[in-house]
Amino acid sequence: MIKISGLRCGIDGGEDIVRIAAKSLNMSVLDIADTRILRRSLDCRRKGDIHYALTLGVTVKGDEKRALRLGKNAKAEICEPPIGGISEYLASAGLGGKSGSAVIVGSGPAGLMCALTLAKSGVKPTVIERGDRVQERVKIVSDFFAGADLDGECNVQFGEGGAGTFSDGKLNSGVGGEYALLALRELASHGGGHELLYESKPHIGTDILPRVVSLIRDEIISLGGEFIYNTKVDGIRAEGGKLRSVILKGRHGGVIDCDTAVFAVGHSARDTYEMLLSEGVVMCPKPFAIGLRIEHRQTDIDMAQYGRARGGLPAADYKLSADIDGRGCYTFCMCPGGEVVAAASERLGCVVNGMSNSRRDGVNANSAVLASVTPRDFGDKVMDGVEFQRRYERAAYELSCGYKPPVQRLEDFKAHRAGGVGDVSPSCRRGYVLSDLNECLPVYVSRSIVKAIDVFAKKINVFNHADSMLSGVETRTSAPLRIIRDDDGHSSIRGIMPCGEGAGYAGGITSAAADGIRIAVKILSAL
């Protein structure tokens, strides 16, 4: 295959990529056997010349080297075809045709991809999920958004699909490599859409993710896997530093004998952290970030980024960062055309997150605005970060007298007054309570956020608009600790294999899914 980079096409999608490929290689379209998009990104650097930048993969009729010589395109080169799916990878690596069993704790992206990889190799995974299957989970979460009481075991954080199910479904990740590519291919082939494989900022959307999750689960079951819902691992039994069984509590209580259990529990499974710690599993605190959600009108973000109304362009996004007095501040999980969601998983705690559907056609844009915190801020004991999160989640709960997020105009936040609502209406379906958000953040975080927002406004001029709406508190950006694992993937108790974002080894859907595949490969390599 010939890879051609540095190409461009208009935003209307009317240009034929075969003709673009043929022109770049100085040949007839009749000499092109196949053309596929390998990479596409929107170039908005010049507001008067917005276009897509393309990298194409081209198969020609005839000799590729001769085509390159005749084409004389310095940005064309011969390369290997894109990597296939997990089955192809396992076959090429000699990891197919295995047998045995393994327990997977958690069915977020890490747990699902780990289970899928094992199942495709012949190992039969048993997936244990404290929440419900995704179809039932959607109903429970929708009821919570409408005002129902919190279900502590099935909510925005817990349940099949993991926390990412109720998000924007962003799949861009700073983590590359073959496992990330494998994860994207599986997500694409299970209903996510082929464009996930080439968009520079791929996303699925909250409305599509449940279908993707259910299709992955169905394939795992068809390959001999088993799912146990509404049940959590409440304890373990180990002998001589090796896992012997896991103890279940919930709808399906009991004991499962096993020598391998992958713990892909997500960043909010605080009770599981406590259980593993009490059993002697070695962990350490790690930095994370806390802050608020900020909302703007999506049309304002579009104008700032495009210099004009959207008109055929996708809802504009952004990613911003700054060093504020030695503390890293940044935007996170930006949701174009999205909504702020109540995302609590513990009673007496108020948490916010953001999500958007695949069309990203909501009135507001929202993003977390965060300040990094380290053990110097919250303490150096393993669970100190968790307690730090709880402290401010409970403060937010007290401000709003419940799970409705406390909200505040940016101008009022700066002035430390509750205030009212301006041009930007809060989007949270559960509702909101006007409050002073300074009361549910450390002083140094509030100060850093104010300074960061003013810095970000130098790139997006509406960012510090007085009516920008803030909501709080955002604490679940990543795990506040790391479960230590060795090169073989095992914790201090052999057989317990920490995995994904909750274990401290990932940060988002794609990186978590990639880590799930990584751990599965380690299991298979040892068989």
Residue 52 forms beta bridges with which residues? 9, 42
What is the DSSP track for 272-321? HHHHHHHTT--EEE--EEEEEEEEEEHHHHHHHHHSS--TTSPPP----E
Give the separation between CA 522 and CA 490, rounded to whole angstroms.
Answer: 10
Q: What is the pLDDT of residues 467-521, one digit of tens each?
A: 999 999 999 999 999 999 999 999 999 999 999 999 999 999 999 999 999 999 9
pTM for this entry: 0.96
272-277 contact pairs (CB < 8 A, 24+): 272/105, 272/232, 272/233, 272/502, 273/382, 273/383, 273/386, 273/481, 273/483, 274/383, 275/233, 275/234, 275/235, 275/236, 276/236, 276/483, 276/491, 276/496, 277/382, 277/383
Structure tokens at 356: 């958007």
**392 - beta bridge partners?**
none
- Residue 469 identity (one-letter amino acid): M
Tell how strand 406-409 and strand 433-434 pair up: parallel
**Residue 228 · residue 491 · CB < 8 Å:** no
Q: H/E element holding 371?
A: strand 364-373
Write down the residue that tokens 């494998």 correspond to: 182
Share of the chain above pLDDT 70, in %: 99
pLDDT at residue 354 is higher than 90: yes
Q: What is the pLDDT of residues 193-240, one digit of tens each?
A: 999 999 999 999 999 999 999 999 999 999 999 999 999 999 999 999
pLDDT of residue 14: 66
CA 61 to chain centre: 41
Strands 101-105 vs 76-78: parallel, antiparallel or unpaired: unpaired
Instruction: Identify the band that residue 170 occupies on the pLDDT scale cut at 50, 70 and 90.
Output: confident
Domain with CATH 3.30.70.2700 in the chain: 2-78
**Could you read off the pLDDT of 405-418 as tens digits, one per residue?**
999 999 999 999 99
Instruction: State the amino acid at position 155 in one-letter form.
Output: N
Strand partners, 219: none
Counts of helices then strands in the chain (DSSP H, E): 14, 22
Rg (CA), the chain: 24
Task: Give mean pLDDT, residues 372-381.
Answer: 98
Rounded alpha-carbon distances, angstroms, from residue 130 to 11, 152, 196, 211, 515 = 45, 10, 29, 20, 21
**Helix, strand, or coil (residue 482):** strand
Measured distance between the N- and C-terminal CA atoms of the chain, rounded to whole angstroms = 36
- What's the CATH architecture for 2-78? 2-Layer Sandwich (3.30)
The domain 86-284+481-526 having CATH identifier 3.50.50.60: the answer here is: yes
Summarised one tens digit per residue, pLDDT across range 37-88 is 999 999 999 988 999 999 999 999 999 999 898 888 889 999 988 888 999 9
8 A C-beta contact, residue 137 and residue 107: no
* 182: alpha, beta or left? (left if phi > 0; alpha if psi -120 to 50): alpha
Determine the pLDDT at residue 167. Answer: 87
Nearest to 53 by CA among 3, 8, 4: 8
At residue 237, the 3 state secondary structure works out as: strand
- The single-letter DSSP state of residue 386 is H
How many Å is the maximal CA-CA distance in the chain? 72
**Which pair of structure tokens corresponds to residue 518?**
């990584």
Q: Which pLDDT score is estimated for 80?
A: 87
Question: Beta-carbon neighbour count of residue 245 at 10 Å?
Answer: 19
Residues of the chain with CATH 3.50.50.60: 86-284+481-526
- Judging by DSSP bridges, how do beta strands 101-105 and 124-128 pair with one another? parallel
